[in-house]
Every structure is written in C-alpha cells, then in structure tokens.
Structure 1
Amino acid sequence: MLKQRIITAAVLIPLVLALILLPPTGFFASLVAVAFAGAAWEWALLAGYRTPVGRGIVTAAAVVIFAVLLLVRTHGLLAALTFAGVAWWVGCCFWLRHFTFAAAPSSENRMLKLGAGLLVIVPALAAATDMHASDRGHWWVLLALVIVWAADTGAYFSGRFFGRRKLAPRISPGKTWAGVYGALVAGALVAWVGGLLLGVESGARLIGLVILGVVTVAVAVVGDLFESLMKRHATVKDSGNLFPGHGGLLDRLDSVFAALPVFAAGKLLLGL
C-alpha cells in the first residue's frame, strides 16, 4: 500500500504543481471546480444517494453553484464564503463529538449531509480562488497544500513508530495522538520555511504564520475525521477508487477542504 501511495504521489505532485503555478486565476479556479465536482459526485454517495441518477443530479447542482461562484468571483464574496467555511469547521467538532448524529439513512439526514457537503466544498473553492488571485497567490496556495502534505507525512511516520493512544477509535481507528503531534510539528516547520521563502520578514508575522500553520493542520485533522465519519455512516471503506493506494478524490481532499478556508482566512487576518 505504501509503495502504491508513493507511486501515485510521484505522478500527481508534478501535475498539481503545474496546475497551481502556471495558469492564471480564472483557469486555475475552473480546474479546481472540475476536481471539486468529482468530489461532489463522491460526496453524494456518502450522503446516501447511491444511484447514478441521484448522484448525477447532486453533481449537476454543484456544478451550477461553482459556475455562479466563478462568474461573480468578487473578493468580498469569496472572503465571506471563506470565513463561513472556518465557522463550519469549528461547528463540525460538535458533530464529531456526537458521531451518531444523522447516521440513520433517512431522507432528512440525506439532505442534511448534502448541506454539509456544500459547506465542505464551496468555501474551499472560494478560498483557493481568492488566495490564488492575491499577491504571489500561486505560491501561497502551494504553501497551504504543502503544509497539508507535510502534515500527512508527519502523521503517518510518527503514528507508525510512536502511535499508541488512539485519537478517535470509533470514527477512525488508525489515527493516533502521536500522529497528530507529528502532523502539527511538520506543519509548523513548513509554515516557517515557507514564510521565509515568501519574504515574511516581520518577526511577529512569521510567528503568526507558524501558528496559522499549526491551526491549519489541526483543522485539517478535523476534516479528515469528518470524512471518515461520513464513510462510516455510508458503510464504505473509500469514497472512490480513482487513485491507486489513495482511494477517491474525497480521500485525498478531505484535509484540503478543511485547511484551505482556515489558511486563507488566517492569511487575510495577518495581512500577508
């Protein structure tokens, strides 16, 4: 499994780097919207829509929302959606504490989970678009993703070698507190190095960026746990099988969906 993950990552990382660093914001946002539409298709399954027709309707509705968002694309709207995403992930912690909430496969719970999907995906698209359009925005988006990638790697190795105490055994039995600590350290280090490379010279701002990196990783863990909870509700192992060794789009983007609004909001607050 580790070998498959490494091969898949080796293929995907250069492609992702090119898609972030080379195109203008409009084209970048459109590509992100296409990927997020695929995630909406997978989310429909987790929400309880198991037929292709039902999932297709959900995906088509998501595409319409994405299109409207990208056509309007004002800084005010994007920032408002970004901060709405931050609020969602804070509130999501209460759902994780009451993990049986909305577990029953009822029509009301399906609609509730569709609404949750909107709050997961739309703010992430808004945050990525708004951040990409800012000064040196291509690099800030890349930094946000590298923080998540580094945290994922730090969590994997620290959890593997030091993991004893489970983080949330009823939601995701494989995650440990040692993995979380490794992720936080890795995210802080990447934020510090990235800040220096991006010319964050003020000591206070650099410290703020490091703290933001830690908070971003913490919320990314929440995003990972929430997708695991939705998979448990839907009784599926992976959201899809698009990437060998990695699962589906949601399995790769769950942390990113949570991290992007938090990192973008923090960047705005820090004046970076």
Structure 2
Amino acid sequence: MLKTRVITAIILASVVGILLFKANALVWQGFVLLATAVAAWEWAGFASGLKIAQKIQYSILVTLLTWFLLPFLSFSGLELLTALSAIWMFFTVVRYQKTQGQPLLTSRALILLLGLVSIFLFSKVLIDFREVFSPLLLLFSMFVVWSIDTGAYFSGKKFGKHKLAVYVSPGKTWEGVVGGFLLSFVIAWVGLQLLTPQLHISYVWMALAMAAIALFSVVGDLYESLLKRQAAIKDSGVIFPGHGGMLDRVDSLMIAMPMFYLLWYWVQA
C-alpha cells in the first residue's frame, strides 16, 4: 500500500510540476478543466443515489459552466464568493459537530449546487493564480497548505489527546492542528525570504497570514469529510491508487487557494 502511494505521488507530482512550469496558458487551462470534470464527477457521489448517466451529465455541466464563466467573475465577485464559501464551510462543520453527526445536507440539488460553486472557484483561481502571479508562488502557497497536513499528522501522532471534531474526522486533534500551524508558519517564513526578497511588508506578518490560511484549510478538509460521511463513502474516488480521488487530494486546497490568491493580490497591489 505504501509503495503504491509513493509511486502515485511521484507520478502525480511530476505531471503537475511539468504542466505548471512548462505548459502554455491554453494547455494549463485545459488541464485544469480536465481536473474540473473529474472533481465534479466525484462530487456527484456526495449526492447519494445518482445514476452514472446523471453523474456524467453533472460533470459535463460543471466543466462547461466553469469554462464559460471564467472570464466573467470579477475580482470583487471572487472576494464575495470566497468569503461566502468560507463562512458556509465553517458553520456547516461546526453545526455537524454540535448535532453529533446528524445529517445536514439532505437535498441533492443543494449538494450539487455547492459543488458547482466550490469547483468553479477553485478552478478559476488555479488558472488566474499562475497567470497573474507565477507558477512558483502558486506552488509555494500549495506547499504551505500541505505543510499543515504534515505537521498535524506527526504532532497529532506524538501529542494528540484532544479531538478536534470527533463526529466529522475522529483522527484529527487540537494538538495536531497546533503543530501543523507552527510548521506552516516556519515553511512560509523561510519560503518568503527565499522567493520574495522585495516583499514590502514584514515577513513575520505575511507568514502569519499564510499560516492562518493554511489553518483554515483544515475546515476545507473537514467539510469534505462531512460530505463523505453523509454519503457513507470512504474516499471521493479511486483515480489515484493509494490516495483515493481527486477531491481527497485537493479538499484542503479548495478554499485555501482562493484565500491565498486574494492575499497575494492585496499584498502586491
């Protein structure tokens, strides 16, 4: 199992890395739209009971709408959509935990609409981030998010005693989250000095802001876990052997990357 996970991770990182740094804008957009289609297919699985044909239709619809709407979302619209998505995710997770795991999202239509919004927002940012800033800043921001997962895993394994959200994700602990936050801060602080020597604000404050976004990415992770629990599925898909589905790999990024995009925009404005 571990060997499979490692091989899959190496292949995936290589493909994404080559496309991120070498592909032209059109190819990168095509790759993101392909990922959009896969993510939408998997999201349809959260709306229990859909037939294969319905999942295909939803995947095509989300991909086409994403492609069509890409040029029309203004920056203020992006700010609003990001804020509303973050608030919705946070309160949904909190409510699910407080009700001890009682189903909250029972409407298929609502689940599918939420998927359209989340996937479109993420896809839009992946395309614009690379073009407006740089592939390196995009990768760096992702790495800060991934570092909180790594830090949370090891610190939670070593020190974890107090459960974070037992009804959503029993394995996560407060100690793990704290450890992950500290690691993401260190990664952000070091990376900023290496990659942005001309930054006109304090490295410490910028690193804290980045670590705070990484911290909120835990909510994105919990949100997807909630949806999977409601649908009674372990993984969102099987496209990545040893890792699960597309959404299993990007759940924490889906809300964090729009936040990072806004942060970099405000800092460089």
TM-score (ref. length: structure 1) = 0.89
Q: Identity of aligned pairs, percent?
A: 34
The equivalent position to 1:204 in structure 2, one of 193, 201, 219, is 201
SS at match of 2:46: helix
The equivalent position to 2:268 in structure 1, one of 261, 266, 271, is 271
Contact 1:221 1:255 in 2 (8 A): yes
Q: Which residue of 2 is the match for residue 258 of structure 1? A: 255
Against the structure 1 CA distance between its residues 198 and 43, is the aligned structure 2 distance closer, same or farther, given a 3 Å change threshold? Answer: same
Contact 1:223 1:255 in 2 (8 A): yes
Task: Compute the displacement of 1:253 (Å).
Answer: 1.0
Q: Say which is worse superposed, 192-201 or 149-158, in terms of deviation.
A: 192-201
SS at match of 1:46: coil
Q: Which amino acid aligns with 1:120?
A: S
Against the structure 1 CA distance between its residues 199 and 40, is the aligned structure 2 distance closer, same or farther, given a 3 Å change threshold? Answer: same
Task: Compute the displacement of 1:78 (Å).
Answer: 5.5
* CA–CA distance in structure 1, aligned partners of residues 62 and 55 of structure 2: 11
Against the structure 1 CA distance between its residues 252 and 261, is the aligned structure 2 distance closer, same or farther, given a 3 Å change threshold? Answer: same
Contact 1:48 1:110 in 2 (8 A): yes
- Provide structure 2 residue ranges, at least 5 long, that are not aligned to the other structure: 97-101
* CA–CA distance in structure 2, aligned partners of residues 101 and 113 of structure 1: 12
Q: Which residue of 1 is the match for residue 23 of structure 2? A: 23
Deviations 1:147-192 (A, max 9, x none): 1222221121111111111110001111111221122122212222
* CA–CA distance in structure 1, aligned partners of residues 165 and 244 of structure 2: 21
* CA–CA distance in structure 2, aligned partners of residues 4 and 153 of structure 1: 19
Matches within 5 A, 1:181-192: 181-192=178-189
Task: Compute the displacement of 1:83 (Å).
Answer: 4.4
* CA–CA distance in structure 2, aligned partners of residues 7 and 92 of structure 1: 32
Q: Which amino acid aligns with 2:216?
A: V
Q: Which residue of 1 is the match for residue 81 of structure 2? A: 84
* CA–CA distance in structure 2, aligned partners of residues 225 and 12 of structure 1: 23
* CA–CA distance in structure 2, aligned partners of residues 133 and 169 of structure 1: 40
Q: Which residue of 2 is the match for residue 120 of structure 1? A: 118
* CA–CA distance in structure 1, aligned partners of residues 173 and 160 of structure 2: 5
* CA–CA distance in structure 2, aligned partners of residues 69 and 49 of structure 1: 28
SS at match of 2:171: strand
* CA–CA distance in structure 1, aligned partners of residues 75 and 10 of structure 2: 32
Q: Say which is worse superposed, 144-153 or 82-91, in terms of deviation.
A: 82-91
Contact 1:208 1:270 in 2 (8 A): no
TM-score (ref. length: structure 2) = 0.90
Q: Which residue of 1 is the match for residue 99 of structure 2? A: none
The equivalent position to 2:191 in structure 1, one of 168, 189, 194, is 194
Deviations 1:63-117 (A, max 9, x none): 11122134x2x6x62663354123311232111122135344xxxx111111211
- 1:160 equivalent in alignment to 2:157: yes
Task: Compute the displacement of 1:206 (Å).
Answer: 2.2
Task: Compute the displacement of 1:2 (Å).
Answer: 4.4
* CA–CA distance in structure 1, aligned partners of residues 122 and 77 of structure 2: 12
Q: Which residue of 2 is the match for residue 69 of structure 1? A: 69
Contact 1:82 1:124 in 2 (8 A): no
SS at match of 1:182: helix
- Provide structure 1 residue ranges, at least 5 long, that are not aligned to the other structure: none
* CA–CA distance in structure 1, aligned partners of residues 178 and 5 of structure 2: 22
SS at match of 2:164: strand
CA RMSD, 1 decimal: 2.0
- 1:171 equivalent in alignment to 2:173: no
